[in-house]
A = this chain, B = another copy of it.
Amino acid sequence: MEHCFGLMPVKPRGRIISTARELFRKCGIRGIGVDAIAEAAGTNKMTLYRHFGSKDELVAECLRDVAREVEEMWTQVEAAHPGDTLAQLHVWLRCAADYKIQDDCRGCDMANAAVELTDTDHPARQVIEDFKRKQRDRLARLAREGGIDDAELLADTLILLLEGARVSRQSVGAEGPCAHFMTSAEAVIESFLHKSGGKPARAKRATETAKAS
């Protein structure tokens, strides 16, 4: 019996990660077994264990893969609006909002894993924390360089809104509170801009100098 892997990586390791991410998302981490993952990836359990050592390590590696993907997305966002940090912020929000539209959306892989993996010593924990912390710092920097006074507070508020939208979608669906995510976020940014008063011009230059480094 021959398998047909569309855009799948050729090497087993890549296929396993790709398949595992998909199945973890669909069934939950505890809801799918390594055997099923290996079979869906067109390989077998032994090869999976030779590459990852344990299911927990596979989970951690999948989340590292997610982090890499998001990192790529960020470089694209920066390339699309070089120097204009506020525009980058808006594009980022738009990306997140669009992502939530998808039918099979199951929220944030990182946050879901944090909910499901109750063991605080799980190897994926560090990955999750690092990722979320980096995301927070990046957002705060964007806001700061965008000339917003209370940049940290804005960043945290936006993060809470996004995390909330993703988790709310799984509770009450796409027509629930998460439907207004974009409006909420834009309104929050607007109110912070008004608080900061009028110095967005200099802020823009500051961003460019920062990028030059």
Contact = CB atoms under 8 A, between A and B. Distances in A.
A177 B164 contact: no
Contacts of A166: 167
Closest 5 CB pairs of A and B: A164-B164, A160-B164, A163-B164, A156-B177, A191-B191
Contact of A167 (B155, B167, B179, B188): B167
Interface in A128-163: 128-129, 132-133, 136, 152-153, 155-157, 159-163
Q: How large is the interface on A (under 10, 10 to 19, 20 to 34, 35 or more residues)?
A: 35 or more
Contacts of A118: 26-28, 31, 106
Interface of A: 26-28, 30-31, 106-107, 110-112, 114-116, 118, 128-129, 132-133, 136, 152-153, 155-157, 159-168, 170-173, 176-181, 183-184, 187-188, 191
A184 B167 contact: no
A120 to B, nearest CB: 10
Contacts of A136: 172, 176-177
B114 A116 contact: no
Nearest to A136: B177
A129 B180 contact: no
Given A106-B118, A132-B171, A136-B176, A162 B159 contact: no
A167 B28 CA distance: 16
A28 B112 CA distance: 12
A116 B118 CA distance: 12
Contacts of A163: 163-165, 167-168, 171, 177
